Amino acid sequence: MNLTTLNFPPIIPDNDECYLRLLEAFLNSVDESCNAEVTCRLSSIGVRIAPSTPDYSQHILETIKEMHYMLGVRVEFSKSIRTSSTVDYMIEII
């Protein structure tokens, strides 16, 4: 699994680091060859996950929903998940 972070500070806060490690663990449990790009924005964190094959996209989506439900974090998914087979979503930073 390849996890790329963009626009994060050189020293990542503990909560962000824990989120990234948890995301990596959940994604590795579904698809070990997927690519994930996590972008830190002013008021949100954007995530784009490209599965190794389109067959994994639905299972990755379910896993992401489960992870964020467990954490109590609201997620905004993009509307083109089925057509592009990539999972894009945003979470708000408080």
Query: Percent of the chain beyond pLDDT 70?
Result: 100
Q: What pLDDT shows up at residue 37? A: 98
Query: How far is residue 51's CA from residue 63's CA, in Å, rounded to a whole number?
Result: 13
User: Does the predicted model carry a pTM greater than 0.85?
Assistant: yes
CA angle in degrees (0–180, nearest 5) for 80-50-18: 110
Q: What letter represents residue 37's amino acid?
A: E
* CATH code: domain of residue 75: 3.30.980
The total number of structural domains in the chain stands at 1
DSSP 80: -
Q: Which domain holds residue 51?
A: 2-92
Average pLDDT, integer, range 74-81: 90
Q: pLDDT digits over 25-71, tens only? A: 999 999 999 999 999 999 999 999 999 999 999 999 999 999 999 99
